[in-house]
Amino acid sequence: MPNELILIVEDSRTWLQAIEMSLNKEGFRVITAKDALEGYHKVITESPDLIISDINLPELNGYQFCRLIKNESTTSYIPVILLTSLGQKQDRFWGLKAGADRYILKDTSMDTLIKEVKTLIDEKIGKIKRKQPQSAGGDMKDATIMSRVNYLFDKLLFESTIMGEIKNLATLVNDRTMLLNEFFKIMTALLDYKASGLLIISEDNTVLYLDLKDGMLSDENIKAVKDAYSNDIKIEIISGMEYNDKKMNMPYYIGSSLKIQNERVGDIFIFNDREYDINNRNTLSLVGKELAVVVKLMLLYEENERLSITDGLTKAYNRRYFNIQIEKEFEKVKRYNSKLALIMLDIDHFKLLNDNHGHQQGDIVLIHLARILKENMRGIDFIARYGGEEFVVLMSGADKNEGAIVAEKLRKKIEAYPFPALQKGAEPLKTTISLGVAEYSADMNSTDDLVKYADSALYKAKEDGRNRVKMHE
């Protein structure tokens, strides 16, 4: 017959008596408490084998009480059942998040509750009791218990404050720069370090963002980071000292991975010239757990934005985004009296290529063409797929003569390029492009004029025999 000690924490006398009677009938010994503070006192002094707690308790609720139990090594082994009249999914989520072993609605039958109690007794107490830590039991003074409660309350408050600060960063997922700045402000307030790093991993690239306090990391530190990941990671200074002669070797560092559902989206770490203690490690780990969700949301937002402005096949920008960008460039050149060139290019005899080799082969040519454009243009140039086999390149700060030089370079690259054949073992394909170049002039009424002039030059290149560059006169 059972003889285990069950603690019931319940402020409703009716429910408390009902549960106590049911447990007594099954042979369990029962102790009770009307609130979480009294309940915690009895956990320490009586060492119950299982706890049943209501969620809606005065001052400290059941979630917080459960976390107190589960966060303390001397009590974490005790199974906890949370009872509630609330049936929302988020209530169950928070119950399990707090570490509860079971979450049961009050309108569930007493038989079900008793069954869960017995299951937990069999599954957990039998296994864990042999290994449970020695409790201070009745020898612990009330003042000591209150001191421990206050310590745990402070710890929970500190942790919940950190969690809240990190979660608030989710409002900035649409602005990576601002999010990073706010993140490093939080890190500065929380931890003492000489340098802090946040590594963000995405499909396109892996970037290490640094917050530097007293100088740049030494070459050894940078090499250690790159060796741990990959040598092609990009490094960006968010705040602090830029690269200079003052390089500091900081042999002590701790890190935490940003993982969400087994997907690693990044890492955070801090460097210092002295060792970190366990509190620093725990704080960084907590930050990492909460930050992982924020970083994942940011990456999803950025991916969604990228999909809305890029061509799905070639990964170049799409026509809709080109129309937005050319308007911005147009306003800029008018305001600052600067230069702007537009190259419009078209694959020669592309329809014939599709007819002879199939549309999949045509797609391969388009993909490689876009890649060649990206590899041979400046970082500030804007490349977009205009439609079908047409591409456009906006060259800020360039006139049509400079644009024509670049266009000729592209023409030669494409003419010499062996486009991979779809059919295995087949010879690479050859193709050419025709290009038209135009530049902004003060007499233009709108961006339509610039596009029209580049298109006109492209038509002239086609008319004159293709595989050539023409400037709008």
Q: What integer is the mean pLDDT of 434-439?
A: 98
Domain spanning 319-471: which superfamily?
Reverse transcriptase/Diguanylate cyclase domain (3.30.70.270)
Least confident segment among 3-17, 18-32, 197-211: 197-211
Dihedral sign for Cα 279, 285, 286, 288, please: positive
Every domain of the chain and the residues it spans? 5-126, 157-308, 319-471
Q: How many helices (H) and strands (E) does the chain have?
A: 15, 17
User: Can you spell out the DSSP letters for 171-218?
Assistant: GGTT-HHHHHHHHHHHHHHH---SEEEEEEE-SS-EEEEEEESSSEEP
- Closest alpha carbon to 64 in 190, 121, 166, 149: 149
In percent, how much of the chain has pLDDT > 70?
Answer: 84
Q: Domain 5-126, what architecture? A: 3-Layer(aba) Sandwich (3.40)
Domain 157-308 has CATH 1.10.10.10: no
Helix (H, G, I), strand (E, B) or coil at 64: helix
Backbone angles phi, psi at 444, to 5 degrees: -75, 135
Cα–Cα distances (Å) from 9 to 4, 83, 141, 157, in that order, read 16, 10, 21, 22
CB atoms within 10 A of CB 271: 26
CA 275 – CA 464 distance, rounded (Å): 73
Residues 387-410: tens digit of each pLDDT: 999 999 999 999 999 999 999 999
1: which DSSP letter? -
Q: pLDDT tens across 298-340, in order?
A: 999 999 998 999 999 999 999 999 999 999 999 999 999 999 9
CA atoms of 254 and 325, how far apart (whole Å):
43
Residue for token pair 């193709």: 431
CA 431 – CA 467 distance, rounded (Å): 9
